[in-house]
Chains A and B, each alone.
Chain A
């Protein structure tokens, strides 16, 4: 059901995560700092708290949803290589099975 929402990838890529973290830390810290100075000057601590909470809301809006900006650097996976054929065209599991059967026979 999420195929229709492919723009809304729920996961950010690694660069996106880094940017998002940097962004919310900067916004909240700046709001707190400005709020502290403003609150001190205006003698009202509620200004400090209020501005920090505004910073929280803004940064939550900007960094919690997986906006497309954070999906610009998708991981470049290596191309799938063709698997080498193992001796006698057996996969490893089949090879092990055969070994077991051989052991039983020898008993």
Chain B
């Protein structure tokens, strides 16, 4: 504390330790928050095609085409330690060769302050619904779920599944 440099050093060090404490307190203040919320989904058009996945392999795979409605209000998830939500819709199903298949069909980044009340009507999927083989045609049990990854200012990165899902089946005929 006797010279300019040592005073600057101690003021800076003290500020840093206060900032670290506050950040940790912020992390602690949101550690027990329950981030679950509900969602409703419907599928409208459901088709399945059988095509080679160009640029990936020469194998002919099943390609699903669906459009969907999605209703969910994520506004309540935001608090002072949530910077961003990464919302994504997953199709989950079983095929004879694979015990579990998960394909993300649609996702959205919602920053804090942006509209987080989602009312999507007749949406097309953002990503292609390619199966790893030919397991989509006639598949009776494809489940759509909505999950979100919470990106905090500081702290854990939890992935939470919304309550509610939608199960649909693919037609037993390929669409040409």
Contact = CB atoms under 8 A, between A and B. Distances in A.
The answer to A–B direct touch (Cβ < 8 A) is yes
Interface string B62-103: 000000000000000011110000000000000000000000
Given A36-B22, A40-B29, A49-B19, A10 B3 contact: yes
Interface string B1-12: 111100110111
B123 interface: no
A91 interface: no
Given A24-B11, A49-B19, A52-B15, A12 B2 contact: yes
Contacts of A66: 4
A73 B15 CA distance: 28
A36 B26 CA distance: 8
Most buried by A among B19, B29, B81: B19
Interface string A23-48: 01100110010011001101111001
Contact of A45 (B1, B2, B80): B80
Chain A residues touching B, majority SS = helix
A52 B80 contact: no
Interface string B24-53: 011001000000000000000000000000
Interface residues of B, number: 23
A43 B14 contact: no
A21 B80 CA distance: 32
A17 B1 contact: yes
Contacts of B22: 32, 35-36, 48-49, 52
Contact of B2 (A17, A39, A56): A17
Contacts of B19: 32, 49, 52
Contacts, number: 67
Contact of B15 (A10, A11, A55): A55
Given A10-B3, A65-B4, A39 B18 contact: no
B26 A56 contact: no
Contact of A21 (B1, B12, B21): B1
Contacts of A25: 14
B45 to A, nearest CB: 41
30 contacts: A10-B3, A12-B2, A17-B1, A20-B1, A21-B1, A24-B11, A24-B14, A25-B14, A28-B11, A28-B15, A28-B18, A32-B21, A36-B22, A39-B80, A45-B26, A45-B80, A45-B81, A45-B153, A48-B26, A52-B15, A52-B19, A52-B22, A53-B15, A56-B12, A56-B15, A60-B8, A64-B4, A64-B7, A64-B8, A66-B4
